[in-house]
Amino acid sequence: MKPDFVIIAVDGGAASGKSSTSRLVAERLNLMHVDTGSHYRAVTFALLQKGVGPDDEAAVAERLKSIPLSTELDGRSARIALDGRVPTKDELRSEAVNNAVSPYAAVPAVRQFLFDYQRAQADIARENNFTGLIMEGRDIGSVIFPDATLRVFLEADAATRAERRAAEGQSDSIEKRDKIDSSRKTAPLTCPDGAYKIDNSNLTLEEVVEEIANAVSNCV
């Protein structure tokens, strides 16, 4: 039976093309787009401001209790708001956040804090009459939506990923983040069994979008 609501999980390492691909697939298939990297970045930004380090899990858990989360729709993109405010792009992509986000994302209390919020994004997409949800991150197909209609894992070679970040004018420790993200105990970055793997090093964005759209139509 054709599902009335589609969920696409997109995982992959830093600069593997998740965001550009997910945004275009969202447009093509009328999906709400959620970038969960921005959730971890937002929480990192808040915890850095409060001066709580990732090594003190009890203090992190305590601080998180005082951060109310909500969601604001910006076109098709659902943005996380902390205490009623959506952090700016500069706040989320600063060098300080780039360097600190993976250690914070490895803290189980941080992942637990975001789990229900991320699952609930499907309800927001339904309430806003989207045909479905495309959510990108590191553990979407393995932990958040293992029941997704389609689970995609994106890869690209190291040179291509470094070029992408350079083209965005960003200084980002891609390999360092991937290493921490892949080796953490809770919800490590991994290609889940049965996921549709795409190496996009030599593909255009349009080709990747086409491949995902075809794969979705084979699933529904």
Binding site for ligand C5P (CB under 6 A): 14, 36-37, 40-41, 101-102, 105, 137-140, 177, 181
- Residue 144 Cα distances to 21, 35, 79, 126, 218, angstroms: 19, 13, 17, 17, 22
Q: Least Å distance between CB 140 and ligand C5P? A: 6
What gap in Å lies between CA 154 and CA 189, rounded to an integer?
A: 12
- CB of 156 within 8 A of CB of 201? yes
Q: Which is nearer to ligand C5P, 63 or 177 (CB)?
A: 177
Q: State how far the Cα of 150 lies from the Cα of 21, in Å rounded to an integer.
A: 14
**Smaller CB distance to ligand C5P: residue 157 or 175?**
175
Q: What is the smallest separation between the CB atom of 206 and ligand C5P, expressed in angstroms?
A: 22
Instruction: Return the ∠ at Cα 177 (arms to 173 and 180), rounded to 5°.
Output: 145
Q: Are the C-beta atoms of 36 and 136 separated by less than 8 Å?
A: yes
**Minimal distance in Å, beta carbon 100 to ligand C5P?**
10
- Closer to ligand C5P at the Cβ: 4 or 116? 116
Q: How far is the CB of 195 from ligand C5P (least distance, A)?
A: 14
- Kindly tell me which of 52 and 92 has the beta carbon lying closer to ligand C5P: 92
